[in-house]
Amino acid sequence: MVAIIRRGEDYIRSLREGNHPIVYYDGKVVDDIVDHPAFRIPVRTTASYYDLHWDPVKREKLRHYSPELGEEISISFMIPRSKKDLRRMAEGLVTIYDSYRGFFGRSPDYLNMWSAVFAAHHEYFSKHFGPRYGENAIEIYKRHAKNDLFFTHAIVAPMYDRSKPPSQWTDPYIWAGVVKETPEGVIVRGAAMISTSAAYAEWLWYLPNIRRDTDPRYAIFFAIPTNTKGVKIIARRSFAPRDGYSEFEYPISSRYEESDGLLIFDDVLVPWENIIFYKKPEEIENFMWHEVRLRAWFNWHFVIQHYSRLKFLAGLAIAIAQASGIDGFINVQEKIGEILIYLALNEAALYGSIELAEELPNIVRPNAQIAISASHFNMKALPRANEILRLISAGASMPIPSSIKDFENPEERAYIEKYLAMKGIDAVERVKLFNLLWDVIGSEVGMRYEQYDRFSRGDPTIRWAQTYTEVYRSKHEELKKIVRDILDQMPNPRQ
d(CA 407, CA 405): 5
| Conformational region of residue 207, where left means phi above 0, alpha means psi within -120 to 50, and beta covers everything else | beta
CB 344 within 8 A of CB 314: no
d(CA 304, CA 220): 29
pLDDT at position 67, please?
Answer: 87
CB 435 within 8 A of CB 368: no
CB 139 within 8 A of CB 126: no
d(CA 283, CA 84): 31
Q: In tens digits, what is the pLDDT along the chain, a chain of 495 residues? A: 445 899 999 999 999 999 999 999 999 999 999 999 999 999 999 999 999 999 999 999 999 999 889 999 999 999 999 999 999 999 999 999 999 999 999 999 999 999 999 999 999 999 999 999 999 999 999 999 999 999 999 988 888 998 999 999 999 999 999 999 999 999 999 999 889 999 999 999 999 888 888 899 999 999 999 999 999 999 999 999 988 899 999 999 999 999 999 999 999 999 999 999 999 999 988 898 889 999 999 999 999 999 999 999 999 999 999 999 999 999 999 999 999 999 999 999 999 999 999 999 999 999 999 999 999 999 999 999 999 999 999 988 888 999 999 999 999 999 999 999 998 799 999 999 999 999 999 999 999 999 999 998 888 999 999 999 989 999 999 999 999 999 999 999 998
Nearest to 372 by CA among 480, 473, 283, 277: 473
CB 238 within 8 A of CB 448: no
CB 374 within 8 A of CB 299: yes
Nearest to 287 by CA among 210, 356, 228: 210
pLDDT at position 3, please?
Answer: 56
pLDDT at position 116, please?
Answer: 97
CB 240 within 8 A of CB 41: yes
Nearest to 147 by CA among 299, 311, 17, 262: 17
H/E run at residue 385: helix 368-393
Q: What is the pTM of this model?
A: 0.95
